[in-house]
Amino acid sequence: MGDDPGDLRVAYITCNDLSEAERIGRALVGERLAACVNLLPGLRSMYWWQGRIEETPEIILIAKTSAANVDAVVARVKSLHSYSTPCVVFLPIVGGNPPFLDWLRSEMDPAKATAKATASVKRGPPTATIPAPPPG
């Protein structure tokens, strides 16, 4: 299963602040549109907007998702984002650790989509009798 990662994508999303990134990240993972997200503070963006160059601090949100979820991820981000034109772009995953890629797929399984997400925040890799991949 993990030998062909062609169905998987990395979403690169910029957010106005940490609160917005957390809200979007929780929605994507909670709704199983992404298997996991990473929030990277400290971004400084420079870009053209409405005829002038802007410089603003932002947060990078990286989400591991599937090609099948691309449209739903864009729609969900747009529904939660404060920007009128949020950055939501996707890159294909061309390789990786097969067990991790299988884990990504399993966490986005539509059959699991009805399961309620718990609000607990865990630190460190998950523990189980069968070795599970760490979040990331």
pLDDT tens-digit map of 88-126:
999 999 999 999 999 999 999 877 765 555 545 555 444
According to the model, what pLDDT value does residue 33 have?
A: 97
pLDDT tens-digit map of 75-87:
999 999 999 999 9
CA gap 54, 125 in Å, rounded: 39
CA gap 126, 36 in Å, rounded: 13
Q: Are 28 and 73 in contact (CB under 8 A)?
A: yes
Return the DSSP state at 135. P
What is the third-level CATH fold of 5-108? Alpha-Beta Plaits (3.30.70)
Find residue 52's DSSP bridge partners: 49
| Element at 78 (helix H, strand E) | helix 70-80
What is the residue whose two structure tokens read 């997200």? 37
CA gap 67, 6 in Å, rounded: 8
Q: Are 64 and 5 in contact (CB under 8 A)?
A: no
Nearest to 56 by CA among 67, 64, 48, 65: 48
Token readout for 41 is: 């503070």
CA gap 120, 129 in Å, rounded: 21
pLDDT exceeds 90 at position 6: no
Instruction: Count the Cβ atoms, other than its own, within 10 Å of residue 37.
Output: 22
pLDDT tens-digit map of 25-77:
999 999 999 999 999 999 999 999 999 999 999 999 999 999 999 999 999 99
